[in-house]
Amino acid sequence: MDGAGLSDREQRALSAIEAGLRGDRALDRMLRSGRRRRRAAWAGMWATVTAALFVAASVTVSEAVLWGCAAAWVLTVVTALPPAVEWARHRRGRTGPHAPA
């Protein structure tokens, strides 16, 4: 493309495609579940690191390892909290980012 932008016909076609995608609930659900899986995987990874550091801190009684465990615990909680809240809202029948608390 030479940088001139889209023609009116191309812009209308793109707008129609975007409107169709916005209305596709199955696609939206699939994209949201993918994000949830990634967040859950990161939370699981941080939980594993936290557990390993906790065991290492217990065995070595090292202050540095203990602080590392504390930092990993904070990351675990921060990473796991949004999916946990979303799951709890879903279980109670409230979905979406603007659902009443």
pTM for this model (two decimals): 0.51
- Counted residue by residue, the chain has a size of 101
Q: b/e for 33-68, b at 16 or more Cβ within 10 A?
A: eeeeeebeeebeebbebbeebbeebeeeeeeebbeb
Tens-place pLDDT, residues 44-84: 888 899 999 989 988 998 899 999 999 999 999 988 888 78
* pLDDT per position as a tens digit, 13-55: 888 888 887 777 777 776 666 666 787 888 888 889 999 998 9
